Structure formats: C-alpha cells, structure tokens
Amino acid sequence: MSTQDGERELDSRSEHRTGTARVKRGLAEMLRGGVIMDVVDAEQAKIAEDAGAVAVMALERVPADIRRDGGVARMSDPALVEGIQQAVTIPVMAKVRIGHFAEAQVLEALEVDYIDESEVLTPADEEHHIDKWSFQVPFVCGATNLGEALRRISEGAALIRSKGEAGTGNVVEAVRHLRSILGDMRKITTADSAERYAWAKRLQAPIELVEEIAEAGHLPVPLFCAGGLATPADAALVMQLGAEAVFVGSGIFKSADPARRALAIVEATAHFEDASIVAKVSRGLGEAMPGKEISSLEVKLADRGW
Amino acid sequence: MSVAEERAALASRRWRVGVLALQGDVREHVAVLGMLGVEPVVVRTPDDTGRLDALVIPGGESTTMSLLLRSSGLEPAVRQMVRDGLPMLGTCAGMILLAKEVLDGRPDQISFAAIDVVVRRNGFGRQVRSFETDLDVKGLDEPMHAVFIRPPVVESVGPGVDVLAEVDVPGSPGERRPVVCRQGNVVVSSFHPELSGDGRLHAELLSRVEGD
C-alpha cells in the first residue's frame, strides 16, 4: 500500500496528501456504530438524515425493486446523486456495477464520498473488479467470506461489508457471511506461521493480508454488515456478531413507517448491547418490509463477484 | 512514549476518563488512553456518567451523535460537565459538538459551547479533499501527524482561546486556519490524533485532570 500512497501528488507547500489508504479508511472509521441508509431521492435522504443516519446511499431503485423489476441495474443518474448531495450534510455514497471503472470515474467527478462496487447492480465485468487504488475516492465492496474480503482489500477497497441477500428483508445470509468472515479470522489468529501460508492458499488471498489479520486479529479495514436487515433487533444481532456498522437498504423505505423505523434502527445500532433500549425502540413500529425465503429466489445477488 | 506521556501514565491509573461512545471512532480513543495507562469509561447512557474526571468526544458524524445525545438522555449530563469545567477533548465531530457555534450544520444540532470557537462543518469539502499532513503544535517538541476526514474548519476564535496549531488551506496559498484550540480545560482538534495513535493531546487532557 505504501507504494500506492507514494504515487499520490504532494502539495508542494504544505504536503497535504489526499486519497491515501489512511484517509480512505479514516472515513469508514468515522461511520462506525452508525447506520447507512439507501435512499432514492432528496426527500428520503432528508428523512434518513433526520433519523440520525451517518451516511446515505443514493440509488435509483432500492434492491427490493431491482429484484422485482429485473433488467439491467446501473449507476444512478448524476442529477439524482447531486440532488441528494444538496439535500443533506452527511456523507453520500453511490453504487457502481462490479468492474465498471468508467461509472466509478463519473461518481468520483461528482465527488461522492464513498463508491460501493456492488453486486446489487448488474455486473459489467465477469472476471475483474475495479482497480480501486487508482481512485482518490474510497470504495466499499461486499464479501461473502474472508477470501473475497481480502481480494477486495488487495484491490484497494477501504471498507468491507457483508453481502447478505439484498432486497429480501431476510437477515440469514448476512449472518452467514459475517460468521464466515469473523470465524475464519479467529482461526487465523491462532494459526502458526506455516498454517498462515495454507490459509492464504485456501482463501486465494495475499499472504501479507493473512499475516496482518494474524497479528491484529481484525481486518485492516472496517467490517460493516449489509443485506436483508429490516428490524432494530436485526441490527443488534449483527453488531453483537461483530459488525462495526450497518447498511439498511429496502428495510426502511419499504416498511409502513420509514421515519420511525429508521430512528429505531439507529438507536438499536448505537445501543446494540442494551436489550432494554432495543426493546423500547422496537415497540409499535408497524409492518416491517415483507420478507422473502432465500430458497424462493430466482437470482442470488451474493453470487456476483469473484 | 514521550516523557509527558509517561508521566501521565504514572499518575492517571485511578482517574475516570469517559469516552462518549454513541457513534464514531471510539475504539481508537480507548486504545490511546489505554496506552497512557487509563482504563476509560465507555459512556452510552446517563448511568455511565457518574464521577467522571474528564470526557473525550470522538470523531464520527456530529448530527448522529447529537440525535443520540438527546434520545439517550445524555445531553443534560454533558451540559452539566461543561458547567462544572470538566477537562474535555473533542476531535473532529467532538470539536463541532464542543464549539460555541456551528455553521453549515443542522439547525437542531447540539452545541455545548464549551469553547469559544465558531466552526464550519465539512469546511474543506467532501471526502476527496480529506488529507493527512504533519503539523507543528505549540508545546510539543515533535510535529503531529494529522489525519483530516471531512474536517470542520474554525472560522473564528474568541479572546480567551489559544490556537495551538494551524494548517494551510488547500488551494489558498498563504491562508491558514486554526486546527487545535484550547480554552481553560477544553482542547479541540479538527483532525484525528487517535487515528495515528498519537496520545499527546490526550496526555494534555490528563494533565488538566492532574491540575485539579
């Protein structure tokens, strides 16, 4: 990573270094303990900010609608992203298709705060992800297991989220992904030096990153949870499992009372270890989004990404 | 560890130093305080605020922390700490919350007015303008490595405020802005010393406890 940083342009007067790994990961550190909410317009973005979101994800359709409508899902219209940027003071993220570096260049030109190279959109490249080191703006990527997480980090991702199964209102896949990532990390911390090479081989990941986990006990970037969260208790569950913040997609604006549910999920995420607070905020929220059994799905979004 | 840090480590074991833990980079502040020999109190509800000797407000999203300060019932407790003159350190979002006035914020966001500065949220722009640099800080022998993440900019400081460090404004040659300020027992910074594991502002906070 230091070689990547070394290529950054230095401000000759004051040596302000932008776009470094530390600066990119730094914003993710600041989002910890918070909720990032999917929004499709400025009005929803305001509701999200009013409810205490730490950031919003600007997109044209929430995953539940992408799933229902089918067709090719692409980056949002820049006008929509700009409308949301003007509506709120918190960070604004937006999604690009896997491998679609030209969409990412557009979002960088718009100065979005984070780019999500997302399996929720239709992949543009079936073999390669974006070289994320070549951007000033930080990237978040999804992962279903530790190998996938480490490959994304080696490509320059500054934040990892579980993929879960977006648009289902069903948290089971997010739990599977978190348990897989965190469980393997716990095993690596007790691996001896020879076993670390076997782990790197098995995970198809760089040995340097495996060594880093073995020493530190956690990923070199923050680990958030996404995919299928619909209730305050879902947020408390994944935070207790070890997620450091949560993304909520369809779960808020597909529910009966989005403003109240958004606030409740924010409070449950902040106080995830305090069941009395989670109980208090969970009362009388109205209907959650209608959920889907994973076995009933025609397309599993989490299978996208390589 | 510097001499000041070692001295603080020796003296600080019995102190109750709170870290506001509603949201943000709480873990880094806890780690830095641990390095200085303090086992901090993680503050999430009013029950956690008893007999604190000092309070750290971390980096994060100031609007989210504002909302959670209200919903958790912590807002009056922190206001009382400000009135009591408790030593406080705020970094980034913490600076915003401790400032007297906030520009470009939400009209309903909390200002504890613990220090007489006016700050503008995200004053240097969006994340692509976030940066790291080395800064000289008044009273410290070696420069600090400063990581700025969508930082607040100090627009003006009141007469009782010491400016301990300034930074060049990117793209405006010759223009500098205060980034570390102190007034009485309150220290605020626009950047995140905790992200680079630098404990010297925390040691300064602990020296204020010692002064009591």
Tens-digit pLDDT profile for residues A109-130: 999 999 999 999 999 999 999 9
- Please answer yes or no on whether A33 and B26 come within 8 Å at the CB atom: yes
> Tell me, what's the pLDDT at A291?
85
What residues of B are labeled active site?
Answer: 92, 192, 194
Determine whether the interchain pair A20/B24 forms a contact, defined as Cβ–Cβ distance below 8 Å: no
Answer whether A32 sits within 8 Å of B67, measured CB to CB. Answer: no
Instruction: Catalogue the long-range contacts made by B74-83 (C-beta closer than 8 Å, 24 or more residues apart).
Output: B74/B20, B74/B22, B74/B43, B74/B44, B74/B45, B74/B46, B74/B49, B75/B110, B77/B46, B77/B49, B78/B20, B78/B49, B78/B112, B79/B112, B81/B49, B81/B52, B81/B55, B82/B112, B82/B113, B82/B114
Mean pLDDT of chain B: 93
Whether residues A13 and B173 touch (CB distance < 8 A) is answered with yes
Q: Which residues in chain A are closer than 8 Å to B63, comparing Cβ atoms?
A: 49, 52, 89-90
* Rounded CA separation B79/B85 (Å): 10
Give exposure, A239-256, as e/b (b: 16+ Cβ within 10 Å). bebbbbbbbbbbbbbbbe
Low-confidence winner among A77-81, A234-238, B49-53, B169-173 (lowest mean pLDDT):
B169-173
pLDDT in tens, B134-177: 999 999 999 999 999 999 999 999 999 999 999 998 878 889 99
Q: Would you state the pLDDT for residue A9?
A: 41
Which residues of chain A have a CB within 8 Å of the CB of B125? 111
User: Could you tell me the sign of the dihedral formed by the alpha carbons of A269, B97, B27, A244, in that order?
Assistant: positive
Q: Do residues A204 and A186 touch, judged by C-beta distance below 8 A?
A: no
Considering the candidates A95, A132, A163, A254, report the single residue annotated as catalytic.
A95
Q: How far is CA B149 from CA A173, A204, B60, in A?
A: 32, 33, 9
B chain contacts of residue A271, beta-carbon cutoff 8 Å: 44-45, 72
Rounded to an integer, what is the distance from CA A182 to the centroid of its chain?
A: 16
From the CA atom positions of chain A, what is the Rg in Å?
19
Q: What is the pLDDT of residue A5?
A: 44
Mean pLDDT confidence for B197-201: 96
Q: Inter-chain contact B195–A11, Cβ cutoff 8 Å? A: no
pLDDT band at B1 (very low <50, low <70, confident <90, very high): low
Q: Which residue spans within A99-170 are E strands per DSSP?
A: 114-118, 139-143, 159-162
**Confidence grade of residue A12 (pLDDT, cut at 50, 70, 90):** very low
CB contact under 8 A, A14 and B168: yes
Judge whether A53 is closer than 8 Å to chain B, CB to CB: yes
> Are the C-beta atoms of residues A112 and A90 closer than 8 Å to each other?
no
Contact with chain A for residue B155, Cβ under 8 A: no
Closest residue in A to B130 (Cα) is A18
Mutation site, A9, A10, A12, A18, interface B, largest B CB count within 10 A? A18
Answer whether A267 sits within 8 Å of B71, measured CB to CB.
Answer: yes
Tens of pLDDT, residue by residue over A29-50, are 999 999 999 999 999 999 999 9
Instruction: Choose between B161 and A13: higher pLDDT.
Output: B161
Q: How many CB pairs under 8 A join A and B?
A: 134
Worst-scoring range by mean pLDDT, A167-171, A181-185, A191-195, B113-117? A167-171
The whole-model pTM stands at 0.94
Note which residues in 1-60 of chain B have CB less than 8 A from chain A: 21-28, 44-45, 59-60
| Local structure of residue A165 (DSSP, 8 states) | -
The residue among A97, A146, A154, A159 whose CA lies nearest residue A305 is A97
H or E stretch covering A86: helix A78-87
- Domains along the sequence of chain B with CATH: 3-210 (3.40.50.880)
Per-chain mean pLDDT for chain A: 93
B168 part of contact set with chain A, CB < 8 Å: yes
Burial class (CB in 10 A: 0-12, 13-18, 19+), A216: exposed
Smallest Cα distance from B121 to chain A, Å: 8
Q: pLDDT band for position B9 (50/70/90)?
A: low
Q: Mind telling me how many Å the CA of B125 is from chain A's nearest CA?
A: 9
Tokens of B124: 């240097």
With a threshold of 0.90, tell me whether the complex ipTM lies above it: yes
Residue B94 makes CB contacts below 8 A (sequence gap 6+) with: B20, B56, B57, B58, B59, B188
Q: What residues have CB less than 8 Å from B79, skipping those under 6 apart?
A: B112
pLDDT digits (tens, 9 = 90+) for B37-90: 998 999 999 999 999 999 999 999 999 999 999 999 999 999 999 999 999 999
